[in-house]
Structure 1
């Protein structure tokens, strides 16, 4: 039987979950240097750090420490495998458009959320502000909802998007509508008006997930 070390098991799980050392370190609350040292068996996680690491790697702490009899982590349904973690950005940054987002050093983000959705590496989270997407019936995305935005998705009719005005540096979250050759940004809340757009707005990205955290 092939023998594995704690470091090799940590590395294996991180690679399986497609997490970078930086992303994992932020989620666990340690430096990326610590992750590197763990994976090389130079040091080992202990106490709260071990529990946090096991949580983020979706496996029992016992597996990381000495391996299960089958030398595998707990079985996890494929549909629930996280695809990675993405930073929570501020509207202040997104207001300035795609160039500002691409120029931002993502490692500076304080909060990172995981997703089970397939999305590009450039994706990011935003927190919904205001009630323009709160509907009285049907799809409703209230204030405080975390939305995952994928800049590499092409907007199609009916998709939810984040768009930035090129005239006043303000980004908005709306439904993208194509109607008889014209483009609109439509709120889900009928109390707000639909906005016709052309070259005065830049589509930042398509929303691929919305998540509400109940305090």
Structure 2
């Protein structure tokens, strides 16, 4: 902080805490939680810490990151820390054929998927809306394959066997379910028994 002329007052303002709290941390009188430590590191020009937790893993968890995640863990210091999870950023063409995780870029999230989890980068403008909910091209979306498809949810689906996967919102009108683009210039289509749900979108992230 001295080297970059970053004062306690400035750090407190960025962190949304009092200067007294920052002083306690720097004098080792109190310990901030892990997510606060990561924010401090980012504010002073470092990357966030990367941690891993030992959890019960299922088959293929090394590839997909799918596990029954706890939402927090108790560290050696006796304090409870929030956990973050890393999922692979996957090509649309390889949703069903994910290679070894170490060969793919990964993105962290505080969301613990119920089953296999992965990120996709939105392609095209079918889910770009002029008003309201909009998920534009280039945004990263986190997919949870363990959730049920319910009206209102954003889904990754195939409308027929061997078809290209698409990103749509599931809606219900007059007792019939449809796959609706958020862009009103695209038509909605029927959600049928042949529609294969590949996962539910649970988070979106814009990277610049």
TM (norm. structure 2) is 0.60
Shift of 1:165: 2.9
Shift of 1:83: 3.5
- Per-residue deviation, residues 123-163 of structure 1 (Å, max 9, x unmatched): 11000000011111001111000000001000111000100
Structure 1: give runs of 5+ residues left out of the alignment.
1-15, 18-50, 59-70, 95-99
1:30 match: none
Instruction: State the aligned residue count.
Output: 142
Higher RCO (Cα < 8 Å, 6 or more apart): 1
Task: Return the alpha-carbon distance in structure 1 between the equivalents of residues 124 and 49 of structure 2.
Answer: 33
Q: Secondary structure at the residue paired with 1:117?
A: coil
Structure 2: give runs of 5+ residues left out of the alignment.
1-33, 36-45, 53-75
1:88 match: 89
- Per-residue deviation, residues 95-122 of structure 1 (Å, max 9, x unmatched): xxxxx25xx3442542111111231241
Task: Return the alpha-carbon distance in structure 2 between the equivalents of residues 164 and 108 of structure 1.
Answer: 27
Shift of 1:88: 0.9
Residue in structure 2 matching 1:111, options 85, 105, 112: 105
Q: Which runs of 4+ in 1 moved over 6 A?
A: none
Task: Return the alpha-carbon distance in structure 2 between the equivalents of residues 129 and 82 of structure 1.
Answer: 30
2:50 match: 56
1:192 match: 186
Residue in structure 2 matching 1:165, options 155, 159, 166: 159
TM (norm. structure 1) is 0.58
Task: Return the alpha-carbon distance in structure 2 between the equivalents of residues 207 and 133 of structure 1.
Answer: 12
Q: Secondary structure at the residue paired with 1:157?
A: coil
**Which one has the bigger helix percentage?**
1
Question: What is the RMSD computed on CA atoms of the aligned residues?
Answer: 2.9
